[in-house]
């Protein structure tokens, strides 16, 4: 996926893709610790962390600041 522009524009571009889902911190952590076959699928240029479900092909994303918020 090619992205240019500001951080906000990069994230907006990601949100337009049907196969990507932005999730809340609790859901992301549950997916990360689940028994589902997942691999990391980050988008570093957009400061987004991601997981790819190897069985369904779905990607789950979260903004870094939301993942590491206290």
Q: pLDDT tens, position by position, for the chain (70 residues)?
A: 454 579 889 999 898 988 899 999 999 999 999 999 999 999 999 999 999 999 999 999 999 999 998 7
Tell me what pLDDT residue 69 has.
Answer: 82
Tell me what pLDDT residue 57 has.
Answer: 93
Instruction: Tell me how crowded residue 63 is: count the other CB atoms within 10 A of its CB.
Output: 18
Q: What does pTM read for this prediction?
A: 0.83
């Amino acid at each position: 996926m090619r992205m240019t522009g500001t951080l906000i524009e990069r994230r907006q571009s990601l949100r337009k893709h049907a196969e990507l889902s932005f999730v809340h911190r609790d859901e992301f952590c549950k997916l990360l610790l689940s028994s589902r076959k997942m691999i990391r699928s980050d988008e570093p240029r957009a400061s987004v962390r991601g997981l790819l479900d190897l069985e369904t092909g779905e990607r789950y994303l979260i903004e870094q600041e939301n993942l590491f918020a206290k």
